[in-house]
Amino acid sequence: MELAGRLWNHVPGMLAALAEAGSTWPKIDVGEMGNLMAYLQAHPARDPAPDFSKGRLLLLRKGCLKCHSLAREGGRGEPDLAEPRADYESAAAWAAAMWAHTPGMAAMAITKGIPYPRFSGDEMGNLVGFLKHAAATAPRRRTQTAPSQ
């Protein structure tokens, strides 16, 4: 998860550099992300157990709720972060999902004038740990289908 945080931080700079070079965003799927993490010697299995209360605080401090809702509270943007997501289950899956979607988030942050959040140390692990916990415990409207992926 620490590496997922570092990849996240990396996005705005990469976007700018790629735009200048006229290139498109590289695609990395979950398997490739797992291999990349192994190569970079990130060890998700050694992630410490997440601290839910720190994770909840991070969700506010990092500004996720300026755009997203959590169990229908907060921002109006989809997806609601308390919807169960397969990518909360592993660091590689989370990093791959964030890798694919951060260009969209960073672009929206720029147009809305919202500072793009940065992560260090165990912050990403605590945040995603809290989201996974929230997704498992949040009341859910039955009519809604969980996001595919």
Site of interaction with ligand HEC (CB under 6 A): 62-64, 66-68, 77, 79, 81, 97, 101, 104-105, 108-109, 112, 114, 117, 149
End-to-end CA distance of the chain: 19
Nearest residue (CB) to ligand HEC, 92 versus 97? 97
Nearest residue (CB) to ligand HEC, 39 versus 98? 98
Closest-by-Cβ residue to ligand HEC is: 104
Nearest residue (CB) to ligand HEC, 41 versus 140? 140
Q: Which two tokens stand for residue 26?
A: 């590289």
As a whole number of angstroms, the distance between CA 52 and CA 105 comes to 24
Tokens 């992630």 correspond to 47
Closest approach, Cβ 41 to ligand HEC, in A, equals 24
74 closest CA partner among 59, 84, 87: 59
Is there a contact between 137 and 81 (Cβ–Cβ < 8 Å)? no
Residue type, 30: V
Length of the chain: 149
Closest approach, Cβ 125 to ligand HEC, in A, equals 12
Closest approach, Cβ 2 to ligand HEC, in A, equals 15
Closest approach, Cβ 57 to ligand HEC, in A, equals 12
